[in-house]
Amino acid sequence: MNVDLSQFFQVFFEESAEHLAEMERIFLSIDPANPDDEELNAVFRAAHSIKGGAGTFGFPDMTVVTHTLETLLDRVRHREISLTRDMVDVFLQAGDAISMQLAGHRDSTMVDEQAVQRVCEQLNAISVAGASPVEQPVLPCRSGASDGCSEAVSETTYRIVFTPSSDLFTRMVRMEPIFEELASMGDFTVTAVIEPHHELSTYDPTRCRTVWEMTLTTSQPVSDIIEVFMFVADEEEIRVDPLQTETVPAAESTAPPAQAAPIPVPEITPDESGTVMGRRLYDKNESAPGAYGRRPGENAETSSIRVGVAKVDQLINQMGELVITQAMLAQTAQHLDPVLFENLHRGLSLLERNTRDLQESVMSIRMLPISFIFSRFPRLVHDLADKLGKQVELKVVGETTELDKGLVEKLADPLTHLVRNSLDHGIESPETRTASGKPAGGTITLKAAQQGGRVVVEVADDGAGLNRERILAKAAKNGLPVSDSMSDEEVWQLIFAPGFSTADQVTDVSGRGVGMDVVLRNVNAMGGRVNVFSAQGKGSRVVISLPLTLAILDGLSVRVGKETFIVPLNSIIESLQPKSDDLNEVGRDNTTVHVRGEYIPLMRLSDIFAIPGAVQRPEEAVIMLVDAEGEHLALLVDELLGQHQVVIKSLETNYRKVDGTAGATILGDGQVALILDAVDMVRLWRSR
């Protein structure tokens, strides 16, 4: 049967990328002096999986590095050689080389063959050094011999019987890579025993009727032999029995082994339907115990499927249109007598509830944990700290915080610039830190948390902090309008100016003045904001605030004149109708409202958006108190209309940026309403 394996390439690419990420995570966290056995086994399995998949799908270039890496990892996990920090660095470089080869096959990008060759040479050098008597102590043989391991090779001849289930071929399993890997372990022979079938009319060519009998003479343990079949069969379908053991002097280890005894043919017992009896490798019921690809104890909640992003986006867009349609029906039903049309009102109420539940379920599909981004920074900090000669520890807090996938992908670049900036400009050298009474090693903290309807991401360091005088001097030199009377907050914002950098010289890390400019531009494009906090000698903190999602939110509709606005529910504190005694005039145009001991600035939406016909006397209108990331603001509106689920539509895509808004939505009657942004409203009030 000729099978086109290219249809499975994307799955292989994704799974290999996950294995590489897992390998990198383990290498960065492992303690070379006392490595954990489970971590060593996990990283070996990851390398083994990549090598097996590469061989199966016809990517022989990837198997070159992975085979050498896998061999070394196998020796490390069996304590044949000791793990060192230098070895970990080489293993990380090997992962980079494999990742580059993977990208070459996936994206048709160029592969630096010289870099791959250098990695192979480094891995081979470790292998040679680890095999020398100076580096490797005499250890007991794994085969059970009590001495002489460094002088003799103990080999065992094994009988291997593989009895697969009948659906082996329909699962596109190829036996050739398995045979090749077993042959690489030693002297190998294989025989196929095929179940006879005499009736051609009932013959099913897709059903496996074969049992493979093999003999293998090798010094490898039984566990390594079984692992060759790890993606093909369950352990119960593999039988490995030792036939004989032969100790061969090291100088003569290439001599052919003695012939093994004949292997008895296992009896194949078909059931009444003609299907070979035995344990299935695959079960449509994914929660079935022992189903193919499942770990012991794994249940349905931990299983997943891969779905293209375009399909998810289409589903969310359709969900948004459904929300708008439901709102239109609800608004139309308001004019119908609830007594005469009781069933209709009841049905629309049920539709609204089901639409909300469906919306929450659909939105959760697109939400990703921010660890998707955070996981890439341990490697960046590790490599860059070594390059700069600094000691830096990376701490991650709140990596399970979920964020819209579209925001997660766009947030990676700004965070990369911020982490690199903290490493280069923030954290001092060990000598400088020690001289100032600090620990020699610095700390960079990545933190994420959900606050209301927004996600706050923070990059903090305990370095030198921002230098106010130096920033002002550099800004003045670049022609920016500055003065000594500027607040610290205004001074810190200068670092986001295009081309601004306080570095004395340009390096491949920083100095070109593009990093912080990129941060501000990208975050603003996502509807977010950036705030900087710093203390001289104590460190700095950059806080990015982003909307939780870009699709749907709960809001309260308000009327100003003949216009309707949407205020996000998560930013509303309370609504009230003030008395004259609660209002205070400050200057000529400013008014504050006194609420429980706090004087809050009053903003008239009719003035901001030039809306005629709005109520001007606060005593006759409604004041809505909103929270803007810790700051309070009072919005003066004519009337509160009701709570809605609204679909966010981008104004910038369809029109242009409107200050004070986070987008627009379509109401049930087809009218377009602006969605207010509380923080941007505070900025507008300050600018006035």
Domains and CATH numbers, the chain: 5-131 (1.20.120.160), 152-263 (3.30.70), 309-367 (1.10.287), 370-547 (3.30.565.10), 552-687 (2.40.50.180)
**String of DSSP letters for 59-86:** -HHHHHHHHHHHHHHHHHHTTSS---HH
- Cα(208)–Cα(167) distance, rounded to whole angstroms? 6
pLDDT per residue as tens digits for the range 152-176: 457 888 889 988 887 777 776 778 8
CA 311 to the chain's CA centroid: 19
Per-residue pLDDT tens over the stretch 544-560: 988 766 567 788 889 99
- State the pTM of this model: 0.57
- Name 603's Cβ contacts closer than 8 Å, sequence gap at least 6: 633, 634, 635, 636, 681, 684, 685
Record the tokens describing residue 462, joined without a space. 């305990």
User: What residues have CB less than 8 Å from 601, skipping those under 6 apart?
Assistant: 590, 591, 592, 633, 634, 685
Query: Rounded to whole angstroms, how far apart are CA atoms 88 and 22?
Result: 14
H-type helices in 376-451, by residue range? 377-388, 405-421, 430-435
Edge-first strand order for the sheet with 639-647 is: 639-647, 552-560, 563-568, 672-676, 661-666
DSSP-derived pairing of the beta strands 598-604 and 631-637: parallel
Tell me what pLDDT residue 413 has. 84
217 Cβ contact list (under 8 Å, min separation 6)? 155, 156, 157, 158, 186, 187, 188, 246, 257, 260
- The helix/strand/coil state of 345 is helix
Query: Who contacts 321 (Cβ-Cβ below 8 Å, separation ≥6)?
Result: 647
**Region for residue 260 given its phi and psi (left: phi exceeds 0; alpha: psi -120 to 50; beta: otherwise):** beta
**By three-state DSSP, how is residue 14 classified?**
helix
In three-state form (DSSP H/G/I as H, E/B as E, the rest C), the secondary structure along 238-283 is: EEEEEEEEEEEEHHHCCCCCCCCCCCCCCCCCECCCCCECCCCCCC
pLDDT: which is higher, 52 or 491: 491
Cβ pair 637, 565 in contact under 8 A: yes
Band of pLDDT at residue 7, cut at 50, 70 and 90: low
Confidence grade of residue 444 (pLDDT, cut at 50, 70, 90): very high
Q: Rounded distance, CA 673 to CA 666, Å?
A: 6
| Structure tokens, 51 | 């090598």
Q: What is the DSSP letter of 173?
A: -
Least confident of 69-83, 143-157, 357-371: 143-157
* Residue 444 token pair: 């960079």
463 vs 385: CA distance, rounded Å:
14
pLDDT band with cut points at 50, 70 and 90 for residue 107: confident
